Amino acid sequence: MHNQNSKNITVGIFDSGVGGLSVWKEIVSLMPYNNYLYLADSAWCPYGPRPQEEIIERARVITSFLIGKGAGIIVVACNTATAAAIKTLREEFTVPFIGMEPAVKPAAMNSKSGVIGVLATKGTLNGRLYNQTVKRYANGVQVVEREGKGLVSLVEEGKLSGVETDRLLKKYIHPMLKKGADQIVLGCTHYPFLLDAIKQITGNDVKIVDPAPAVARHLKEVITESQDYQQGQNVLKPEETTMFYTTGTLETLMRMARRIMPGIGDEKFNAAKI
C-alpha cells in the first residue's frame, strides 16, 4: 500500500525537442513509480547552432516552468543545453540537475581498434565538458568527430529513415568507419531515434553507444540517496505518469511519445507558452 509519508518525487525532463524522449523512455522503464513532466522546446529547436547565452536563457525559463509545475529534480536531456547551461542552472536554482555527458569513456575503454566516432552537435563538440571528457578518457584513442548537421530537424519531422536521412548519416558515419572506428557515440538525445538507420550503415561489428541508460541509473542513485525522498509506489500505469508540454506543435510530440508508449492519452499533451 501507499505509505503516507512517502513522497513520489516529480522529475522534470527537458530537451530542445523530442530527442529527450529517448532519455525519458529509459528513466520511466527504470522508475515507473515516479511522476514526470517532459518539456520539448521545439519552437527553439535545434539548439546546436544557437549562441550559448540564448540556450542559457531558454534553460532558465524552462527550469522555472518545470519547478512551477512541481518538479523536484530536473534532467537536462539535451547534450547541447547541458554543455551550455547546466553550470548556470546549478548556481541559480536549488533543485538538483542531472545532465547529459557524451559516453566517450565507455567507448574508449571498450574499443578494440583504438578508434571511436562521436556524432554530436556543434554546441556539444565545442563544449568544455565534452573536451575535458575526451582529454581525460580518450587518451591514446583516436576520436573521429562529426557534427550531425540536419539530423535533429529530421527527427523532429519524424523522418527516421529514407533517402534524405540515409544520405546525411552516410556522410557523417562513413569517415568514422574508414578510419576504423568500432564504437560510435551518439552525442545528441535525438540520435537514438535513428538507431535502425545507423545500424544499416555500420553493420553489427560497430557498437553504437547511447548514454541514456547511464543517465537513468544516475538519476535513480541521486533520488535514492536524497534524504527527503522515500521511494513512493505510484499506482498509475506508465502511460499515465507523465505530463507532456511543448513550445512547438503538439502533433510532433504526440507522434514521437507514442512511438515509445502507444497508450498515452491526448489529455497528457499540452502547449507551453514560454
| Complete DSSP assignment for 7-45 | -PPEEEEEESSSTTHHHHHHHHHH-TTSEEEEEE-GGG-
pLDDT band for position 234 (cuts 50, 70, 90): low
First to last CA, the chain: 38
Confidence at residue 209, expressed as pLDDT on a 0 to 100 scale: 96
CA gap 134, 104 in Å, rounded: 7
Q: Is 44 inside a domain boundary?
A: yes
Order of strands across the sheet with 35-40?
97-98, 73-76, 10-15, 35-40, 242-246, 269-271
List the domain range (segments joined by +) for residue 132.
104-210
In degrees rounded to 5, what are phi and psi of residue 226?
A: -70, 135
Clarify whether residues 183 and 85 are in a common domain.
Answer: no
Active site residues: 78, 188
Indicate the average pLDDT of the chain.
92
CA gap 38, 20 in Å, rounded: 8
Confidence at residue 228, expressed as pLDDT on a 0 to 100 scale: 58
Give the number of C-alpha atoms closer than 13 A to the C-alpha of residue 224, restricted to the C-beta side. Answer: 8
Confidence at residue 4, expressed as pLDDT on a 0 to 100 scale: 38
Q: Is 252 inside a domain boundary?
A: yes
Clarify whether residues 123 and 167 are in a common domain.
Answer: yes
CA gap 117, 171 in Å, rounded: 13
pLDDT digits (tens, 9 = 90+) for 113-128: 999 999 999 888 998 8
- How many angstroms separate the Cα of 47 from the Cα of each of 26, 72, 146, 190, 262? 22, 25, 17, 12, 28
pLDDT digits (tens, 9 = 90+) for 2-40: 333 445 789 999 999 999 999 999 999 999 888 999 999
Question: 180: alpha, beta or left, given left = phi > 0 and alpha = psi -120 to 50?
Answer: left
Clarify whether residues 175 and 253 are in a common domain.
Answer: no
Helix (H), strand (E) counts: the chain: 11, 10
Task: Give the CATH number of the domain where residue 144 resides.
Answer: 3.40.50.1860
Q: What percent of the chain has pLDDT over 70?
A: 94
pLDDT band for position 102 (cuts 50, 70, 90): confident
Cβ atoms of residues 73 and 95 within 8 Å? yes
CA gap 211, 77 in Å, rounded: 10
pLDDT tops 90 at residue 212: yes
pLDDT tops 60 at residue 230: no
Q: Is 1 inside a domain boundary?
A: no
Q: How many domains does the chain have?
A: 2
